[in-house]
Amino acid sequence: MAFRPEDYDHLDLPDPNFLAKELDPSLQIASLADVRQDAQARSKDIFASYQTLHDILDRHEKTIQKRWTKKTRQQRQKILASAKSLRECYMWPHISQNDLLKPKTLLLLLNARGRHLPPTFAGADKAAMQLGLVTKKLRQVFLCGYMMVLHGVQSPREYGELFSWEEHPDAFQWTLNRKQSVPGEATTFPIRPEPDLTTERGSNGIDSLAMMAAEAPYRLPAKLDFSRIERVLGARASAAEDHVWALREDPAYFAEQLIEVREHRPELLKDTSGHEHPVMKTTQQDTLWARVCRTVSLEAHLHLESYTELYQQAQTLRTLQTKHAAAISPTGDLPDELMDCLFRFRRYLNQAAKHTVERLRHNFAASPPWRQNFVRQPPADSTTITIRGLDAKTSDIEQQVLWFLSTVWEDSSNLLVARLPLIVDQLGWLLETETRAKELLSARIAGIVGDLAIITHCIAQLELYTPWARGFELAHVERQGGIEAEFAQRTVKRGMIVDALRGENLTQVARLGNPSDMRFAYPFEKWRTRQNVEILPRAERNLDEYWAAIDRILYSNCGNLEGTAIRRVLTRPRAMQRTPDFAPPLATDKPSREPVLDPGVAGLYRPLSTIYIAEPAGAASSSPLAPTPKMKEKTRDTTSSAAAPPEPIAADATPQTEPPSIPVDARSLRVFRALFFNPAVTSSPGEISWTDFLRATISTGLFTAEKLYGSVWQFQKREGDQSRIQFHEPHLRAKIPFTTARRHGRRLNRAFGWVGDTFLLKLK
């Protein structure tokens, strides 16, 4: 629906500024002559300053870079102090003297502003003033019936030019959808080639999203990069799938997740009288563990669904943007097909952000670093929990962290003014630069913040789609009904999963998932003695029993989950590894100690879900009973495998090509041997330095590494399919525990087919 000036003719207002004055009596009304004269003068001055800076950089930029980087911080400060003072802080809130004193920041700013025309920055500079405009620290003048051109022009005559709604056919519509601006917003040396300015990645080989965000105000305004959105979400969806696999395959990982979730339950908080929550009583432990099991199971399923959906939509967006690239013009509307996809993607991003913020709010108060700062109100019943903060003395860093996080989840005016991406950016920078701030977040909270940062990064990317992004809110109104109806229809299965995993359904299952009796003890790192080998399959059977019960609940309440991401994972022919029974040595063997089995060779492989793997894709039955997978007896030498049970057949398993050998140095080889630990090769597993892990991964020459927000790192293959994988940096300690390293190894095996023998010592 397009609005036209004549749509407002019936108002018949004697004063065209009447409505503006009614809405804001303090608004300054300007005359056409004053605005035009001021705009022309400013445009001429802006382009003259640009040309002067451009000419200087053409001839001296390399010299400026060399001299500036050699100066001390005190010398830089003296130079900045002698220059013209910075602009009003609300006009340039991201530009600070502290940043400009860094070696590269001023050089980035000079290069961006001196090598690109002023209209390039119109949208970014307007967006930077959002805080000042909303708080009315910056006052705009008002001129009714005119539009000012700031985008898509090349000369000072065109920049800031005014058009009335009547004299230009598109002037009113451009004003309405904000593709242009409302008045009031807005020699002797030879020329040398533009020198390169080494970025942070050039000096250490690693990108940092937090560093990129901090440098963004000083660079050329970024453009919407659908490929980047697709890469980030694809890696996060892959990590969600790996999480589902690890929960079902690895008893130790499952137990860790249960304990971590329990440590963040609000029931752990004492009430205002110092009493425990009713479910903390010994007789109510099943209720507590039912809630914990629900959280672990539900988060795994919903995160897989959410990030897979976002990834698929990002793929569609990139395809449509490429398809319509030739038809997209800054002065025209986006194709309807692309616009519909953009708003659909935006809706799912906002929902994912809302869900992640709710997780943050629900888990933060009870997290170990903050538990002493909060109490519960005495509950009216066992399901009601109300939390309030204590008036405890806090440090400056604690106050900053708490302000950022509470602003995120309280949905207050602060969030409306600053907006979510900016708040999360600033929180990420605080965590990056202040060790104490990082210590105030538990590993679980840091992971949630990392997820929120990924989502808000995608939201911020959409806001870069200028000039159309400025009109998203208005255009969304026209499409809202259809988008909401489609969203409700596409998320029906998620609602069914949520309803199925209610507490009453999990009361019995919780007993299977309670780790208190060491039922998930998993000494994988120990020698394969008879005692240890008997413990491993016992824990695996207990884990399989738990997930079989969960699958029966889902199957009986949700059917076959056709069309969901979790079904695709559960029915995939890839199978999880299981430990075979202990095989005693033959009489002819004379080992010096009990035999050691190679877990990579002797492992049994079973399907991820015995219920869904056997259920036909088109079946509509809701029966939770599924046929037992077909079995085959092993045909290899019975003298070495007589004690092994029959092995399930993986459905239509596709043989994988063995990966080529990768030569690495001795330091990296130690890392990969720990990742793909084999007791037959490595005598004692140990921790891995995170720095060594980064170095080893990059040293293969196959990956680039990029730090996202929080603890999330993304590794992307340089060539081929450029597939990606994400890992979390160890929280607080820069060491990867052996159990975590082993899981990293399994993920690398699933993603790239790597095994311990893939890596060889590089010849000197």
The per-residue pLDDT for 667 is: 92
Spell out a b/e string for 124-148, using b for 16 or more CB atoms within 10 Å of the CB, else e.
bbbbbbbbbbeeeeeebbbbbbbbb
The per-residue pLDDT for 84 is: 65
217: Cα within 13 Å, side-chain hemisphere: 18
Contact 47, 159 (CB under 8 A): yes
Average pLDDT over the chain, rounded to whole? Answer: 79
Kindly report, residue by residue over 264-297, the tens digit of the pLDDT. 999 999 988 888 888 888 878 888 999 999 999 9
Residue 634 clears pLDDT 80, i.e. is over it: no
Residue 351 clears pLDDT 60, i.e. is over it: yes
The per-residue pLDDT for 442 is: 94
pLDDT grade for 253, boundaries at 50, 70 and 90: very high
Across residues 423-445, what is the average pLDDT? 89
Kindly report, residue by residue over 717-729, the tens digit of the pLDDT. 877 666 788 888 8
Q: Rounded distance, CA 231 to CA 717, Å?
A: 11
Tokens representing 591 are 């080992």
Residue 251 clears pLDDT 70, i.e. is over it: yes
Kindly report, residue by residue over 352-408, the tens digit of the pLDDT. 999 999 999 999 999 999 999 999 988 777 677 888 888 878 899 999 999 999 999
Neighbouring residues of 430: CB distance < 8 A, sequence distance ≥ 6 = 397, 400, 401, 404, 437
The per-residue pLDDT for 524 is: 78
Kindly report, residue by residue over 65-98, the tens digit of the pLDDT. 999 989 999 999 888 888 766 666 777 777 888 8
Locate all alpha helices (DSSP H) within 393-516, ordered by sequence. Answer: 396-410, 413-418, 420-433, 435-439, 443-463, 472-490, 492-500, 503-513
> In the chain, where are the structural domains located?
5-191, 662-761
Query: What would the DSSP string read from start to end of 156-181?
Result: TTTTT-EEETTTSTTHHHHHHHTSSB
pLDDT grade for 599, boundaries at 50, 70 and 90: very low
Residue 637 clears pLDDT 60, i.e. is over it: no
The per-residue pLDDT for 190 is: 56
418: Cα within 13 Å, side-chain hemisphere: 19
Query: What would the DSSP string read from start to end of 308-366?
Result: HHHHHHHHHHHHHHHHTGGG--TTSPPPHHHHHHHHHHHHHHHHHHHHHHHHHHHHHTT
Residue 342 clears pLDDT 80, i.e. is over it: yes
Kindly report, residue by residue over 532-568, the tens digit of the pLDDT. 778 888 999 999 999 999 999 999 999 889 999 999 9
The per-residue pLDDT for 171 is: 52
The per-residue pLDDT for 17 is: 60
Residue 485 clears pLDDT 80, i.e. is over it: yes
Contact 192, 203 (CB under 8 A): no
Task: Return the minimum-mean-pLDDT range out of 19-23, 110-114, 156-160, 531-535.
Answer: 19-23
Tokens representing 575 are 């199978």
Contact 402, 430 (CB under 8 A): no
CA 686 to chain centre: 30
Q: Rounded distance, CA 550 to CA 531, Å?
A: 30
Across residues 734-762, what is the average pLDDT? 87
Query: 449, 394, 469: which is closest to 729 by C-alpha?
Result: 449
pLDDT grade for 591, boundaries at 50, 70 and 90: very low
The per-residue pLDDT for 180 is: 52
The per-residue pLDDT for 212 is: 67
The per-residue pLDDT for 315 is: 95
Tokens representing 211 are 């560093």
Tokens representing 107 are 């050089």
Locate all alpha helices (DSSP H) within 514-660, ordered by sequence. Answer: 530-558, 565-570, 599-602, 638-641
Query: 528, 657, 542, 552: which is closest to 603 by C-alpha?
Result: 528
Residue 644 clears pLDDT 90, i.e. is over it: no
pLDDT grade for 168, boundaries at 50, 70 and 90: low
Spell out a b/e string for 604-628, using b for 16 or more CB atoms within 10 Å of the CB, else e.
bebbbbbbbbbbeeeeeeeeeebee
Tokens representing 553 are 């609940």
Residue 16 clears pLDDT 70, i.e. is over it: no
Across residues 229-247, what is the average pLDDT? 91
- Other C-beta atoms lying within 10 Å of the C-beta of residue 721: 6
Q: Rounded distance, CA 653 to CA 566, Å?
A: 19
Across residues 588-615, what is the average pLDDT? 55
pLDDT grade for 692, boundaries at 50, 70 and 90: very high
Q: pTM of the prediction?
A: 0.75
